[in-house]
Structure 1
């Protein structure tokens, strides 16, 4: 299933971000720690490489991601030039407090009131940018919601005479090349609900959990997973949660069961889960029939980014 979702406001948001990139010192890219590469917008790579801006990658929601996988991703990103990566939870004040000093190290020449540090915060929808902004400013300056694309316009906030922050709307890209990326983004609620069918996404998620986190399924729903496939997992969730279609002779409501599984994953109720690792991503990309270029340095700019 191909999943694409690119609301009209994202085109103007991208143009405005390209303009702001020219005056920013450091790009702060907020990622979902459960799918760090899939939640990294390739357009952000294009923009910052064009302007030669360093990047602080924040693997947010690390408290609900698999810590072993998160460690592997931090090692992976640390090998990239001009990149610093750190695992955080934007809901933890201590994690957020580290961000300005980490960004400062990437732009040591911007260190006083004459040359204040200017941060451009970017990321796809629903990765926690608004929560981060509110925590940095220590008051509500950005709307926070469960649905993607709550923020639709850019804003500038002068935190002090030495620090300015630009907040951008969550932006996806026009074409998601890798189908599994679309499934991961949908499972993590980064795309609008009209772009996918819950049952199809939940079936993929159930299969992944069955293969990689069967113990979490058993602990949460109380059924043994041996001999099951993805559809059987959804059926078992439906039975355990009483998802029965009325007037249909006891037929299971797999749509409702799908919503339960997806919500339990999204909220972290199911446990600490990561949907991709560097090694697994390499395997997935190698399985594509068409060559897939992921190195932003190797990808040509498709249009004028100035």
Structure 2
């Protein structure tokens, strides 16, 4: 089953983003460092290329991701045309936030001074940390922050003390997720509304992925004697270990699923990255997802 989520307000947001893109110099896209490719919005990429705008990719939540793969993904994004990439997590957020205007300036050196202020658009799928970043940039709370995807529904313009203009945009998905694994990874990361997926299905996907890529973390966290069993059986064992038992000794699979999803999202399971650049060929999205309106470049 391919997970899909494109609420009505996102269609309006997509049109507004396309209009604002014509006025900015740099596109800042925040992705989840635990699923860097799956959380990259191909619609944003196509709009950016159409407008020939450079990109600053922020791999956020890097403190929750695999340190070895953090560097591999950083190098991969940095090798893309007209792109700078940085890692950001709670351990270095303030230092990296202070660097953002300078990094944007490197990508758009023609924008200098009060007469030609640098303008950047902050984008990304829901719940990757856009509003938190904007609040950190401004040094005060100006954007709503929540763990629920889709909280920000309108665009806002802010200006830093140094004169850099940032446009904060709503979390934006694309109309159709073509690759099943992408949808499951995004749901596991918490960037899709809960009405669009089944917790148990996503938890089973998580268990399968952990068995394949991080077996020791799974086994240690849930004190499993071995993990050579089907994912459904492993989920039952996890539920029993954690006391998710209901009448007749049956396992409450919903409660078990919620436990697994929560412990992945908050990092309790360990520092995990769900994909590598080698997976990209399997995760490639359909190229033509939007039809951007023609327009002239920013003068």
Q: Calculate the TM-score normalised by the size of structure 1.
A: 0.92
Alpha-carbon distance in structure 2 between the residues aligned to 1:62 and 1:44: 21
> Match of 2:31, SS?
strand
**Structure 1 residues 220 and 179: alpha-carbon distance in aligned structure 2, compared to 1, 3 A threshold:** same
Alpha-carbon distance in structure 2 between the residues aligned to 1:112 and 1:90: 31
Alpha-carbon distance in structure 2 between the residues aligned to 1:154 and 1:303: 19
Q: Where do residues 1-306 of structure 1 align in structure 2 (5 Å cutoff)?
A: 1-89=1-89, 92-160=93-161, 162-245=163-246, 247=247, 249-282=248-281, 284-285=282-283, 299=288, 302-304=291-293, 306=295
**Structure 1 residues 134 and 303: alpha-carbon distance in aligned structure 2, compared to 1, 3 A threshold:** closer
What is the Cα deviation at residue 224 of structure 1? 2.7
Of 5-14 and 94-103, the range deviating more from structure 2 = 94-103
Alpha-carbon distance in structure 2 between the residues aligned to 1:60 and 1:305: 32
**Structure 1 residues 205 and 141: alpha-carbon distance in aligned structure 2, compared to 1, 3 A threshold:** same
What is the Cα deviation at residue 231 of structure 1? 1.4
Alpha-carbon distance in structure 2 between the residues aligned to 1:8 and 1:125: 14
What is the Cα deviation at residue 229 of structure 1? 2.5
Alpha-carbon distance in structure 2 between the residues aligned to 1:39 and 1:305: 26
Q: Check whether the contact 1:47–1:305 (CA below 8 A) recurs between aligned residues.
A: no
Deviations 1:144-193 (CA, angstroms, capped at 9, x unpaired): 10100110000001113521110000000110000100000111111100
> What CA RMSD, in Å, does the superposition of the two structures yield over aligned residues?
1.6
> Match of 1:181, SS?
helix
Any stretches of 5+ residues in structure 2 without a counterpart? Answer: none
Any stretches of 5+ residues in structure 1 without a counterpart? Answer: 286-291
Q: Check whether the contact 1:90–1:135 (CA below 8 A) recurs between aligned residues.
A: no
**Structure 1 residues 305 and 277: alpha-carbon distance in aligned structure 2, compared to 1, 3 A threshold:** farther
* Partner residue in 2 for 1:289: none
**Structure 1 residues 90 and 22: alpha-carbon distance in aligned structure 2, compared to 1, 3 A threshold:** farther
What is the Cα deviation at residue 114 of structure 1? 1.4
Alpha-carbon distance in structure 2 between the residues aligned to 1:139 and 1:128: 15
**Structure 1 residues 228 and 30: alpha-carbon distance in aligned structure 2, compared to 1, 3 A threshold:** same
Alpha-carbon distance in structure 2 between the residues aligned to 1:255 and 1:301: 37
Alpha-carbon distance in structure 1 between the residues aligned to 2:77 and 2:30: 13
> Match of 1:98, SS?
helix
Q: Calculate the TM-score normalised by the size of structure 2.
A: 0.94
Alpha-carbon distance in structure 1 between the residues aligned to 2:137 and 2:99: 10
